[in-house]
Amino acid sequence: MIDTHVATVRVGSIVRLRGVLEAPSPIADLFGDDDPERELTICDEAGTDRLHPTSTLGKAILGHHAGDIVAVPLAQIPIRVEILSVREPCRVVQLGDRVHVDDGDGVMAWRIVEAHEADFLRRAMSAASPVARALLGHPVGADVLVELPGGRATMRIVALD
């Protein structure tokens, strides 16, 4: 089934692909096995089910949408993949977000703001603070190690508003 939401494949997207099998097809060269369907995250990090944006497949599918069939120039034989779905990546902590964190002693919420807007009484934390710098860019559910003046602490991001 093809996803009807029309999102563009970009770095950070979670993409479900299916190899369009044509005899003979080196689909195993593309996905590493004979499974014609795979879900991959487009990102700069290496890992299982991750696809680098500068890889042959990554370059071929960037900018395409769910439902597109894309030719991937693999060796001398082009492979075709169908983009079944494109999901946006999970949200990560950004400037302006109200982030709820659990430091082991309970959940607290702070808004991350520019330094000139920081106000302890209004729970507005400067983006330049050690805690905000550590949290920025991490998704909900992440355990983040924070360097504090009194030592290290681990905080779990439990929600974003």
The DSSP annotation for 125-138 comes to EETTSHHHHHHTTP
13-29, pLDDT tens digit by residue?
888 888 775 544 444 55
123 has pLDDT over 90:
yes
Residue 14's closest CA among 37, 46, 43, 35?
43
- Give the pair of three-digit tokens for residue 25: 């097809």
Domain ranges of the chain: 14-87, 98-160
Residues 6+ apart with CB under 8 A from 31: 19, 38
The CATH code for residues 98-160 is: 3.10.50.30
Q: Do 14-87 and 98-160 have matching folds?
A: yes
Residue 72 pLDDT > 60: yes
Helix residue spans in 32-69 (DSSP H): 56-61
The model's pTM: 0.50
Is the domain spanning 14-87 CATH 3.90.120? The answer is no
CA–CA separation, 26 vs 131, rounded Å? 48
Mean pLDDT of 126-147: 88
